[in-house]
Amino acid sequence: MWVIKSSVAKMPGKCWGRYAHLALIECEPGHKVKLIKNTKKQRIVERRSRLHVGKSNRDAFSRALRDLAAIKATLELEAQLEIDAMWRT
């Protein structure tokens, strides 16, 4: 199971605006992801750090979110194909 998680990024006082982290995390079914970090039950697959959160869908955060959603869809499709191949044999 894969989850996209976001968190607020701390930046120096001279940086205006809002910034965030994004991560695509693989975890065990039923596990609730609380933090963006590697543990026994979860593993970070892809991470994007210090992304500007703007007001449009062209900001860095929105672009990274679309990229991670595409990676997640690909991983889910590959997992489903593996399950289908197991049932055929």
- Would you state the structure tokens that stand for residue 10, as one six-digit string? 């701390």
pTM to 2 decimal places: 0.89
Residue-number span of the structural domain to which 16 is assigned: 2-88
Integer CA distances (angstroms), 5 to 19, 21, 83, in order: 14, 8, 26
The mean pLDDT value of the chain amounts to 95
Residue 89 scores a pLDDT above 80? no
What is the domain count for the chain?
Answer: 1
pLDDT in tens, 2-39: 999 999 999 998 989 999 999 999 999 999 999 999 99
